[in-house]
Structure 1
Amino acid sequence: MSTERRRVVLFDLFGVIARHQRPGALEKMAARCRTSPEAFATAYWTHRPPYDAGRHTAAAYWTDVLHALSRPADADTIEELRLVDIDSWSRVDERMVAYVRRLRDRARVALLSNIPADHADAFVAAQPWLHDLDHVAFSGRIGAAKPDPAAFRHSVTALHAAPADVLFVDDREENVRAAQAEGMNGHVFTGRDALSAVVDPWLRAVRR
């Protein structure tokens, strides 16, 4: 069997291999803006989708957030918030990184993550293991964020794979359902042991 026909395990990043946002980060950014954590969180997440999908730059995103909070959007404030934000999403689960690296002995391994382009640049620079994967797709670079079907189609096309040969792993059920609607297999991630219990028999299955 050629490498091109090997099965693919396509991973989400945050909540699977990487950890969710650092606790206290939103509160720290809210304090910088002299606003409540609740108001900041609302502005932060409301304006996030076009930033994640590469339709807004970091400057445009943070300008929208600051204006929603009735705060001035000066360059220094924007850059400070941007750097704190990037750092807040920088942690990985080293046990999952090790699992993903070992998995490449048995399957092709790829990544599909909702992450702004400038965050992706910083993450790749800090995590050299990403260069060993068969394909890496970041929403801010490809112009589509999960659960948009275009995000899944991008990865399948880039991998030259059939959807049925892909197992998509994400901690969000809505994203897994969207992948399944595109013909992929799907698994809602709850932990490494449960994942192994799904991946191992799936990779052993006889393909006709």
Structure 2
Amino acid sequence: MTSPLRAVILDLGNVLVFHDNGLLFRKLGARAGLSPTETESRLLATSWTPANRGLLGAEGLRREICRSLGVDLPMDEFNALWNCHFTVHEAVLPRVEGLVGRVKLVLLSNTNVLHAAYLRPLLPVLERFDSLVLSCEVGHVKPEPAIYKEALARAGCAPEEAAFFDDVNEYVQAANALGMRGHLFTTAQSFDAQLKALGL
């Protein structure tokens, strides 16, 4: 017998907001005089994961990325470039709003302090979530089991009582391995159908 669904755990990027990393690499690269490919390579090799683990605060993140790209940008300019690639996924927000009060609603995201600070005001619905599990605040990143267990603890439910949605299949599979009901997020329309299949 299937356990009752008590929690929905949602990813942030490419679920609640779109993030065009290609645009980010192009804009940062243009400012540093580097190709998008070289910009991506340098960022992924140095600061990406430490930033997501919360090892770099806002100023530390600015310094580390500027160092890796060989450019020195003031914080205002850097922050604007660092967040240039986000667009709110308007179509999915009403469905998420409809979950408020029906299940525990938890955000589970690999992110850094500057992205988190930028996106919170753009997503008022986050204030209605029961908890926000941000990698930069808890020190763990997907697909590590510890960050999923943190989300479950905050939801106050067993793995089989939680549905998890993410656009990265590796992260969905990690949730399934813990006994959660993992679903690959693709579109707002598919999300709606997935929720209906779950009785929501």
Whether these two folds match at TM > 0.5 is yes
Letter in 2 for 1:131: E
* Pairing 1:124–2:123 present: no
CA–CA separation in structure 1 for the residues paired with 2:117 and 2:64:
22
Q: How many residues align?
A: 196
Q: Is the 8 A contact 2:164 2:175 kept in 1?
A: yes
Residue segments in structure 2 that go unaligned for 5+ positions in a row? none
What is the DSSP-based 3-state SS (H/G/I as helix, E as strand, rest coil) of the residue aligned with 2:39?
helix
C-alpha RMSD over aligned residues: 2.2
* Pairing 1:54–2:51 present: no
Alpha-carbon deviation of 1:10?
Answer: 0.7
Distance 1:132 1:103, change over 3 A: same
Letter in 2 for 1:64: E
Letter in 2 for 1:159: A
Q: Is the 8 A contact 1:58 1:82 kept in 2?
A: no
The equivalences for 1:68-87 within 5 A come to 68-69=68-69, 71-72=70-71, 74=72, 76=74, 79-87=76-84
The equivalences for 1:137-148 within 5 A come to 137-148=133-144
Letter in 2 for 1:98: P
Structure 1 residues 170-179 or 56-65, which shifts more? Answer: 56-65
Normalised to the residue count of structure 2, the TM-score between the two structures is 0.87
Alpha-carbon deviation of 1:159?
Answer: 1.4
Rg larger for = 1
Q: Deviations over 1:17-76 (max 9, x none)?
A: 21122763321211111222221111122220110111222433343333334x25x462
Instruction: Look up the match of 1:12.
Output: 11
Q: Is the 8 A contact 2:22 2:36 kept in 1?
A: no
Q: Is the 8 A contact 2:54 2:113 kept in 1?
A: yes
Structure 1 residues 116-125 or 139-148, which shifts more? Answer: 116-125
Q: Percent identity?
A: 28
Instruction: Look up the match of 1:35.
Output: 34
Q: Is the 8 A contact 1:106 1:203 kept in 2?
A: no
